[in-house]
């Protein structure tokens, strides 16, 4: 019973943070959002991988909440919401921004990592060249 209650709370929190992230991305310029992401870090940080269950539970909550949200919840919104959820729990997180070129089209992607665990945006990250990273 306690697991169901905790999962419901995480889902509700993720849904709310996705809404906040969407509002921030619609109404604020990127330069005002950058401080929420944390400090910019060099291109190739090496951090020890520590397995914990919490980032995996946050990942599941964000995935479920994004599927139910009536607003856009693409990679950037999910990474920002996840970053805020990790910050609330005083967990480290790194937001990655990457780009790739597919023919004449430039694609961008954002994903979030916590202690070596990809929390959001895990699909196809090997195809992207990292152009920026932010950690807290």
> How do residues 16-63 score in pLDDT, each as one tens digit?
999 999 999 999 998 888 888 888 776 554 444 445 558 999 999 999
If DSSP codes are grouped into helix, strand and coil, which group holds residue 30? Answer: helix
Could you give the C-alpha distances from 71 to 34, 74, 128, in angstroms and in order?
A: 22, 9, 25
More reliable by pLDDT, 127 or 5: 127
> How do residues 88-112 score in pLDDT, each as one tens digit?
999 999 999 999 988 899 999 999 9
Q: What is the pLDDT of residue 108?
A: 94
Q: What is the pLDDT of residue 102?
A: 85
- HSE, CB side, 13 Å, CA atoms: give it for residue 133: 15
> How do residues 55-82 score in pLDDT, each as one tens digit?
999 999 999 999 999 999 999 999 999 9
So where are the chain's domains? 2-135
Q: What is the pLDDT of residue 53?
A: 59
- HSE, CB side, 13 Å, CA atoms: give it for residue 53: 3
pTM of the model: 0.77
């Amino acid at each position: 019973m306690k697991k169901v209650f905790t999962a419901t709370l995480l889902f509700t929190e993720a849904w709310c943070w996705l809404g906040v992230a969407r509002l921030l991305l619609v109404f604020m310029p990127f330069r005002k959002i950058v401080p929420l992401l944390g400090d910019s870090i060099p291109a190739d940080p090496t951090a020890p991988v520590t397995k914990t269950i919490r980032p995996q539970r946050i990942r599941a909550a964000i995935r479920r909440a994004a599927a139910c949200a009536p607003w856009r919840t693409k990679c950037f919104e999910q990474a920002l919401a996840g970053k805020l959820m990790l910050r609330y729990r005083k967990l480290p997180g790194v937001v990655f921004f990457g780009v790739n070129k597919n023919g004449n089209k430039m694609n961008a992607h954002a994903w979030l990592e916590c202690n070596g665990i990809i929390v959001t945006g895990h699909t196809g990250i090997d195809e992207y060249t990292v152009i920026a990273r932010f950690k807290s």
